[in-house]
Structure 1
Amino acid sequence: MYIWLILLNAPPLRTDVYLDLVRQGASPAHAKIQNDTFRTFQGDPLFRRRVTQNSITRVLNAVAWRLNDAHEARVNGWQSPPTLSEFSGSPDTSRMSRHSFTTGARTEPSTTNDAEQIGYVQGMNVLCGPFLYASRSEVEAFTGFERLITQECPGYVRGSMEGVHKGLALVDRVLQVVDQKLYDHLIKHQMEAKIYAFASVLTMSACTPPLTEVLKLWDFLFAYGPHLNILCIVAQLVVIRDQLLNSPSPNQILRSLPSLHADRIIEQAIPFATKIPEDMYEEIVNHAK
């Protein structure tokens, strides 16, 4: 977990800051959070033994309070909360070029509508889960999770979820470039990425078990940029290419992607970075912002 925090450029957070958020109790998103917590990796016994629903609820409510406070600060022109402002000078791993990858105060008031506001959305519990599983404390999990959703993929957790929709379109476009035949087969069966890959984009593939492989995949994503999950989703399709091409109903296969094999997916995904056009790669880098 310490390595994740370093790769995400997330400095340590004082425990009392987290505890203050927890003491605020149920956030405005508490009802949604309660509906989601019991679903978090419910089929993984290792996760259930290590992470309690109460822990998930506390961290998600704390993040929801922080996002709510940040929204009020932007609207009213106050200074941003510390955990949102203190990262602003850190380098951004998502802006690492593909060449390096294949060889990382008082402000003006603003108006923000619900579609633009970063807040709790269904699926954030799955993004939070690996942090709680890998961390030694809730404070660590909170720090890494908040950094991820506020700096690396805020577009995934805005009301409109525009980053997710951009990511889905990019999955289709990347697949068309790297495997035209497979792309044509899926489109023929009306299997656009929005049909089968929504959860994979939103959760950075954490929705696909096993959790141990998710952790390995996230090591790669945090080292080279979470945006590369788009290439990893395409790689998951290419790994089962023959199975999809030989099936008259590929939708049956893609109802749930096969179990993750992080090493194999990463091996498939890396060459894609050199095959896609430069402007498309730039879109991948920025799609979740």
Structure 2
Amino acid sequence: MDFLSILGFILAVGLVGFGMTFDQEAMKLVFTNIRAFVDVPSMAITIGGTIGVMMISFPAGAFKKIGSHLKIIVRPYAFNPVQSISQIVSLATEARMKGLLSLEDKLNEIDEPFLHNSLMLVVDSVDSEKVRKAMETELEQLDERHALDRRFYEKAASYAPAFGMIGTLVGLILMLGNMSDVDALAKGMAVALITTLYGSLLANIIFLPMASKLKARHEEEFLCKQLVMEGVLAIQEGENPKFIEEKLFKLLPASYKKTEEEKEKDGQKKAAKKKRRRRNNKEIVE
């Protein structure tokens, strides 16, 4: 569960709500202020208009993916590059000791489809260039598919403020057309301002964060699959497992390398503490 995404959404909505309801003079929350920010025509223009043009812009399949995208954001699959490298090194060691055909027994233990299918090609003695081409094609398709998913929310983020502006123009027209009617003037002003607010909230609290989070998830998955591709090709070439490990770690971003260095330092510190304890215990016994 990605609690950071949930907490961020609650924090964003909560602080906007706080700003709407907090009375600075009385120093308390006035929840009746919320009524001033609820306007049905403004919702119809902004939310309805955005949904309408999204239906024109994208096929029905794009809307069906919304549920799975929310699941990816809230309950993501854990892509761990370091774990992927460890798995590749283990397979490379197995292949080095017993040959490539020995990996066939390991295929049933591998749940990740990309690694499973790639190793199957290697076990079937497919030419290394064809294996590389097949893996690169799959990665390209993955990149294009995920980019299209992100574009769905990026487009929505551009349409929502545009319809907020359309609502503003509608409100101004209503206001200027009834300058003599005070009630119509106030109503037109409310529509003019609130639609802009709705469009901005939709874009900046929902659509843009979703697109950004999907991009982050894509980068995690894409990195792991790049490591798998390079690792599988190295296994097929019969390279040394230690060399493969070093090669794959060089492909990791600096943030992952720093984490691994910190873990290694922590391990060294723990080992040093154990040695000191043993030495102290010996001295006490003596």
* TM-score normalised according to structure 2 size: 0.25
Which of structures 1 and 2 has the larger relative contact order (alpha carbons within 8 angstroms, sep 6+)? 2
Larger radius of gyration: 2
